[in-house]
Structure 1
Amino acid sequence: MEILHKGFDGLDIAFEGQIPSGLDRELLEAKTNASETKTDTLLKQNGVWLQVADSGARGGYAYRCDTGPLGAIWFFKRPNPKDPWGIRVSLKSLPLAKHGLGWARHYIPETLKKLDIEVSSHKMAISRVDYAIDILAPAFVLDRHCFIAHARSKLKSHDEIEVIQEVGHSGRTTSVTVGSNPGQQVILYDKREEVLSKPDKCVWWDIWNASRQKLGLEPLERNTPEKSRVWRVEFRAHKRHLKDNWKIRTWDDFDQKVGDVFLQMSKAIRYVNPTADTNRSRWQDAPIWKLATEQIQDDLAEMKSDLSCDKLKTILMDQQRQLLLSQYLGLGVSLAALEGIEGTSFDSFLSQTTENAKRLSKCHKKPISKRIEAAAAKYALLRAKYT
């Protein structure tokens, strides 16, 4: 088994603070426009590009803003003295993998400053933090019955909702979740399968291979599961667990206690090798669990990706390009089927379809330049000049 990546994978923080009235007006206008055009609206504030959605979020947040694949999701409430906790930020996994937690601690106050939002470091509440370890373990087979947990831990399954949450197909378990939000959760799942099934996750191949290249190892053979099966052990501490059990709210609390949070979690919930011993608590940790726990004991060290930001953006652009091309092809196949086109005639049919689309475009009520401009907002944050 080999560690391909380890580090913080998610971080949510709320702040006591209000957005200024000027930003509120611009966000409201952008949100209204997004609702009318059915696409996110791009808004620039003091060098910060915000992709404003047409809806907010639960908890009274009127605005939901994305700062791009190497940024975060920001949630803002409308200014209201009776509801002072008006700011929340959710950090994405990709910039955390690239830069580590230190980046987040610089990025958040810097962005707030640019948006003219005043907050106090003592008026904050860390509401979620995730730590993940990616392990190359092709021979590992996940078995939900190998999990044991403290009696107070919640384990969920399809047949017993209060016990274990299990996901799988074709007789193979691919994911087991122990615990629930807003408490603590431990998840062991097939990360390779997730990466292959979700285009926006494919960048993880490059992150893993960059790690292997640094050690002088060959790239993973992504099409050969028996050589490239990657399992992720993910520890999640949610709001109630952080606040009530560990009294963690501020960065100082975080620095002092977060390592113990995950270490205790790895002991309270374990993946083991079953034996004939009827006392399950005496069962020894399985090798994959021992390896994951060792990483937590290592002062929560992070493996930062050596991929440059430009390289990451290029990878993300290529992923989106391939997705759109696949959708384009799929529509072409559907149209060919509707027209009764044979497979041998598809290439010429596709060429003719392109000509038909050109004529249709010229008849559209809006000029193509305006339509491209409107669509560009959706992908603007992938382009270098906006990031």
Structure 2
Amino acid sequence: MHIVHQGFDTITLSIQANISQDLFDALDVERETAEENRAPSPFSYGGAEFDLLPHGGNGYRFILKGGPLDVTWFFKKPNARDPWGIRISVGSTLLATQGLGHARAYIDKTLERLGVRFENHQVSIARVDFCVDVLAPDFELNPENFVIHSHSNRGDYLTQDDDRRSNGKSGHFTSVTVGKMPGRQVIVYDKRREVIDKKKPIWWDIWNANLERDGLPPLDASDAATSRIWRIEIRAGKDLLKDRWQVRTWAQLDAMFGDIVAEAFEKVRYCEPSDDGNRARWPNHEIWDLVAVTTDDDLLEMRSFVDPTGIREVHRNEHIRLILAQVAGNATTLAALEGVNEIELVDYMEQVGSRLATVVEDDPEKAAKKLDEAKGRYRFIA
């Protein structure tokens, strides 16, 4: 077993401030365009770049995305009676590749560009997720091996075993969740499967960068027998943070989060069953002892060793692969409709290229407009 990544995975916070009327007016105009097009619209303000979604949600008038770094901004209409007008969700990509310190600096700089002023005590942290990824191809997840409080909730997910047989069973457990949000959750799940199923190729680069740092060979993503990664994730919701630990601000998180994670690993344990009838005396499984020691490190500066410029490249290549597959699929469907047989298919594809060129030549203005729209839509990765 070997740790291939550890660090923060999600941070959600609110800011006790409202956007300016000038920013609201600019967003309102652009949202009309997004609604008309039924698609995100590029939005720039004060040097900050976003994609403005064509809808709001959960009481927020505007939702903006900050590109492939996976940061989402929520803004309310300015209202003096509702001072908590901003919510920010920082996703795993930024936190895994750059660390929490960089994410905090990015938030402060972006809000400064947007003309938002606030003090440290006006930050309220609502959720923090911390994860450890372990390369453990031989690990078998068994929900019955968890030792938890009798009042704790546990959810198990059993999936069909499409790429590995497990002692003759028809399936194996890929996820176990203990606890409920907005309290504390501890989750163990097959991260390799999730990365493949949800098409998140950046994680192979993150894991391989950390393996290279440790002098180990890269993973073969196609071989489950050697590349299965298990994630142990601690999720701290607002009830746990504020009621149990009195954590609201960055300074309080800095001081207390190591203890929050350490307590989670003590309250929920994955164990090796023994003959002892008292489950509380069962010894920890080696994977649990391995991840629990991460609380002794400086959690705030944990990050991978991926080159930040490589993130855009990974996202671009994934989009190119998916779009090319769609183009090939559509062209093959067209061939079937036009009665093309298998032997003629390669030549037919070349003809499709010529026909597409003719479409552009027939209406270059429309083609140029479509190209500009696509460049705007993918400007963060193009």
TMscore range, shorter length? over 0.9
Indicate the residue corresponding to 2:375 in structure 1.
376
Deviates more, 1:214-223 or 1:9-18: 214-223
Aligned to 1:73: 72
Q: Could you tell me how far apart the structure 1 residues matched to 2:228 and 2:46 are? A: 44
Contact 2:254 2:300 in 1 (8 A): no
- The answer on whether the counterparts of 2:312 and 2:380 sit within 8 Å (CA) in structure 1 is no
> Which moved further from structure 2: 121-130 or 275-284?
275-284
CA separation in 2, counterparts of 1:337 and 1:82? 62
Q: Cα offset for 1:66?
A: 1.0
Which residue pairs with 2:26 in the alignment? 26
Aligned to 1:41: 41
Contact 1:6 1:302 in 2 (8 A): no
The answer for unaligned runs of 5 or more in structure 1 is 156-163
Alignment of 1:111-190 (within 5 A): 111-155=110-154, 164-170=155-161, 171-190=171-190
User: CA, structure 1 residues 366+32, in 2 after alignment: closer, same or farther (shift >3 Å)?
Assistant: farther
5+ long unaligned stretches in structure 2: 162-170
Cα separation, 2, equivalents of 1:377 and 1:39: 12
| 8 Å Cα contact 2:208/2:219 also seen in 1 | yes
In 2 relative to 1, CA 301–248 (structure 1 residues): closer, same or farther, beyond 3 Å? closer
- The 1:168–1:314 alpha-carbon spacing in structure 2 relative to 1, beyond 3 Å, is same
Alignment check: 8 A CA contact 1:8 1:129 kept: yes
Is 1:223 the counterpart of 2:214? The answer is no
CA distance in 2, matches of 1:337, 1:371: 27
Q: Deviations over 1:231-270 (max 9, x none)?
A: 1111111122211221111112112211111111111112
Deviation, structure 1 residue 84: 1.2
Contact kept, 8 Å, 2:153 with 2:179, in 1: the verdict is yes
SS of 2:68's equivalent in the other structure is: coil
Deviation at 1:368, TM superposition (A): 0.7
> How many residues are aligned here?
373
SS in 1 for 2:218: coil
Partner of 2:198: 198
Q: What TM-score, normalized by structure 1, do the two folds share?
A: 0.91
Of all paired residues, the percent bearing the same amino acid is 37
Q: How big is each residue's C-alpha offset from its partner over 1:307-351, in whole Å with a ceiling of 9 and x where there is no partner?
A: 222222112211111111122222223333444433332212222
CA contact (8 A) 1:6 1:301 kept: no
- Please state how far the C-alpha of 1:361 moved relative to its aligned partner: 4.8
Distance 1:293 1:245, change over 3 A: same
TM-score, normalised on structure 2? 0.92
Instruction: State how far apart, in whole Å, the 2-side matches of 1:4 and 1:302 are.
Output: 16
Matching of residues 328-347 of structure 1 within 5 Å? 328-347=327-346
Letter in 2 for 1:357: L
After superposition, the C-alpha distances for 1:144-190 in whole angstroms (9 at most, x for unaligned) are 222221233221xxxxxxxx142422312212222222111111111
Match of 2:305 in 1: 306
2:27 and 2:364 map into 1 onto residues whose CA distance is 28
Hey, what's the Cα distance between the residues in 2 that align with 1:93 and 1:81? Answer: 33
Query: Which residue number in structure 2 is paired with residue 88 of structure 1?
Result: 87
Q: Equivalent residue for 1:233?
A: 232
Aligned partners of 1:357, 1:339: CA distance in 2, in Å?
16
Change (3 A) 1:300 1:310: closer
3-state secondary structure, aligned to 1:23: helix
Match of residue 315 from structure 1: 314
Cα-Cα RMSD: 1.9
